[in-house]
Structure 1
Amino acid sequence: MTAKLRTVLGDVDPAGMGATLPHEHIFGDVEMYWYPGGDPRAESDPDSVPRLDNLWHWRENPVANRGNLHMGDERDGIDEVGVLPELGVRTLVNLSPIGMGRNAAGLRQVSEATGVHIVAGSAYYVAESWPEERRSMTETQLAEEIVHEITVGMEGTGIRAGIVGEVGLSWPLDPLEERSLAASVRAHRETGAALSIHNPYYVPGAGPLREIGKRIAGLGADMSRVIMGHCDGFARDPEFLDIVAELGCYVELDLFGYSSGYEAEVDFVYPSDELRVNTILALIEAGLADRLLLSHDICFKTSRQKFGGSGYGYIHRVIVPWLRRKGAGDDALQQILVRNAQTVLPIVEPAA
């Protein structure tokens, strides 16, 4: 049986995917991160939007203003995603987890309006985000819910998810996250869907990437169909290339265009785009272009073009020309931007 890409409009031939953004959010909320911290300028209204006179504050303090953590406007979703086809981007993966504002019907509406294939994720985020009623769910119950969303439909609709993710992990892993990870691997094995991981990007060094990768492999995942997200920070470690080769999974640099360089809550400085570009070039040189995916992980209003952000087109407008000027060849870029997603994202026949 030929593998098919499972989108919110149905299964399609992977040959028509074009370039793909494998880690984005069109709709969703990350209310768990709201932290006004006593800042008198912080806005508490979840429906608030930035204005020209306070946009600087929203960008400098992305989690202080509550409205920045909520993206639910369907017209905005259509407008923002609508810029992609002219850039050659025909597929986008929406990795908003279960219970965090994913809006299955809205995703279908955006796909119909823009012509962009949208793959929806199904998974549970980090333990801190779990509501009380989910904390008692067993591994089997968690796995069954993900499988149902991929094979039957999400949120009481017939709109099916097409990937297990993003699976939220902290460091060290919370017991709830251990249970969720085991359930996610079970769902990945049972459905033949790829597995996408939210890694604890803020941890110094790439050691957690290796340890989490080994844990996923030990649970029985097909590592050739695992995407390790948020590897931007890990790429600072001199061992990063060796770990990528060792694990045999896909690694994702997916924080391009992020509006704040410093995250005070975890004392983490985001890598520059220059570091990301140099990491991409190093992976190409090491023969690992077939292990790499690129995306933006847009989850704040201030990352959207409407509110002064770079939007979903930043990689193809800015980063791809930069890579070409630095010597990246057409075949390597086609591998990273098109062929890798065509290989890892389609649903495959589950192993017997």
Structure 2
Amino acid sequence: MPGTLRTVRGDIDPAEMGATLPHEHVFGAVDMYWDPGEDPRASRDPDSSPTLENLWHWRENPCTNRGNLHMGDEKDAIDELSVLPDLGVGTLVNLSPIGMGRNAAGLRYVSEVTGVHIVAGSTYYVAASWPDERRSMTEDAMVAEIVEDITVGMEGTDVRAGIVGEVGLSWPIDPLEERALAASVRAHRQTGAALSIHNPYYVPGADTLLEIGRRIAGLGADMSRVIMGHCDGFSRDPRFLDVVGELGCYVELDLFGYPSGYEPEVDFVYPSDELRVETILGLIKAGLADRLLLSHDICFKTSRQKFGGNGYGYIHRVIVPWLKRKGADDDALEQILVRNAQTVLPLAAV
């Protein structure tokens, strides 16, 4: 049986969770993706925000304007999350890793004001984001930091994390990421917290997902408590359903609302929401609804409603009615949107 859910306001009974968004960012900074190039329109100010006149440029070039990669305003966070209770969403997981602007005290404040339960993540992101001082950290030191975040508090506060994630993996996996992954699995086992993985979404073929999953299992993770994030692109592979069944973990389609555009840096075309809907229907038909989670991974200002994006309510406003029209029944949707998170996210006995 699942234990309690560890939120930034304290532990709660999973029955209080409501629907859950398991992969989001309330606060965060992803400067490793900033690339202004030679674009004369690019803003280099991390505190900048789009205006009506330049919003088209920010949306077309999400990583060109540095301010788009910084989400730190508490009022904006409150305004954006306030739409969720009316949609039946009671819980959100903030997967901003260590050192990337997660703002422990701010998360608790936003949760108190909005009434939305927030689960905070603790781990390390892709190697490209690591400052020099972290590169010399030992695996043991990483384990200790993650465990302290979950059992004592983050950033010198008593606000505790409740999940190990999102563990950043590139492709091929960098040796630094290998170290962080091993540390994250150990922390997951020591604390009973679920483990959430940032997969290299841009790599074609479900075989990559299978290889990473087997590596995580080989490190000793409880695969029934592992969430494999960013599976949207992998779902194009006809073998995706077979891989999901073999891994025994949760898979997450978590890029809902992203423009179906081209990312030249990694030669990747984002899947359409139509493909995601068809993938969900396929998983339901295959009897795998109990392995699926859905989210938006909002980490750009332009993904928020204030700046013309779809915001945190998009799945429940648009995708759920779409799925119902395509034949998904209420029980399957309750499984995907509510019960799966109630099973995987609460702390397990250790």
After TM superposition, is the score higher than 0.5? yes
TM-score by length of 2: 0.99
In the TM superposition, what whole-angstrom CA distance separates every residue of 1:131-150 from its partner, at most 9, and x where no partner exists? 00010111111011000000
Which deviates more from structure 2 when the two are superposed, residues 127-136 or residues 259-268? Answer: 259-268
In the TM superposition, what whole-angstrom CA distance separates every residue of 1:280-323 from its partner, at most 9, and x where no partner exists? 00000000000000000000000000000000000000000000
1:72 corresponds in structure 2 to: 72
1:161 corresponds in structure 2 to: 161
Please tell me the residue identity of whatever aligns with 1:200: P
1:139 corresponds in structure 2 to: 139
The unaligned stretches of length 5 or more in structure 2 are: none
CA distance in 2, matches of 1:196, 1:46: 28
1:25 corresponds in structure 2 to: 25
Please tell me the residue identity of whatever aligns with 1:288: L
CA distance in 2, matches of 1:244, 1:259: 25
TM-superposed CA distance for 1:266, in Å, is 0.8
CA distance in 2, matches of 1:103, 1:209: 31
Q: Structure 2 matches for 1:142-221, cutoff 5 A?
A: 142-221=142-221
For the 8 Å contact 1:259–1:302, the answer to whether it is kept is: no
TM-superposed CA distance for 1:259, in Å, is 3.6
Please tell me the residue identity of whatever aligns with 2:21: L
* Aligned sequence identity (%): 82
TM-score by length of 1: 0.99
For the 8 Å contact 1:259–1:303, the answer to whether it is kept is: no
2:41 corresponds in structure 1 to: 41
1:296 corresponds in structure 2 to: 296
2:90 match: secondary structure: strand
TM-superposed CA distance for 1:218, in Å, is 0.4
Please tell me the residue identity of whatever aligns with 2:38: G
2:341 corresponds in structure 1 to: 341
Which deviates more from structure 2 when the two are superposed, residues 45-54 or residues 181-190? Answer: 45-54
Please tell me the residue identity of whatever aligns with 1:38: E
For the 8 Å contact 1:62–1:260, the answer to whether it is kept is: no
TM-superposed CA distance for 1:263, in Å, is 1.0
Q: Structure 2 matches for 1:264-279, cutoff 5 A?
A: 264-279=264-279
1:87 corresponds in structure 2 to: 87
1:105 corresponds in structure 2 to: 105
CA distance in 1, matches of 2:50, 2:2: 46
1:317 corresponds in structure 2 to: 317
CA distance in 2, matches of 1:266, 1:57: 20
CA 1:245/1:336 → structure 2, altered by over 3 Å: closer, same or farther?
same
CA distance in 2, matches of 1:182, 1:272: 33
The unaligned stretches of length 5 or more in structure 1 are: none
In the TM superposition, what whole-angstrom CA distance separates every residue of 1:60-106 from its partner, at most 9, and x where no partner exists? 10000000000000000000001000000000000000000000000
1:83 match: secondary structure: coil
For the 8 Å contact 1:261–1:269, the answer to whether it is kept is: yes
TM-superposed CA distance for 1:325, in Å, is 0.1
TM-superposed CA distance for 1:262, in Å, is 1.4
CA distance in 1, matches of 2:263, 2:110: 31
1:10 corresponds in structure 2 to: 10
CA distance in 2, matches of 1:260, 1:155: 37
For the 8 Å contact 1:31–1:69, the answer to whether it is kept is: yes
CA 1:159/1:37 → structure 2, altered by over 3 Å: closer, same or farther?
same
TM-superposed CA distance for 1:56, in Å, is 0.7
1:122 match: secondary structure: coil
In the TM superposition, what whole-angstrom CA distance separates every residue of 1:227-280 from its partner, at most 9, and x where no partner exists? 000000000001000000000000000000014621111111000000000000
For the 8 Å contact 2:209–2:234, the answer to whether it is kept is: yes
Q: CA RMSD in A?
A: 0.8
1:125 match: secondary structure: coil
Q: Verify: 1:248 aligned to 2:248, yes or no.
A: yes
Please tell me the residue identity of whatever aligns with 2:125: Y
For the 8 Å contact 2:2–2:346, the answer to whether it is kept is: no
The number of residues matched between the two structures is 350
For the 8 Å contact 2:2–2:343, the answer to whether it is kept is: no
1:331 corresponds in structure 2 to: 331
Which deviates more from structure 2 when the two are superposed, residues 280-289 or residues 1-10? Answer: 1-10
In the TM superposition, structure 1's runs of 4+ consecutive aligned residues that sit over 3 Å from their partners are none
Please tell me the residue identity of whatever aligns with 1:324: K
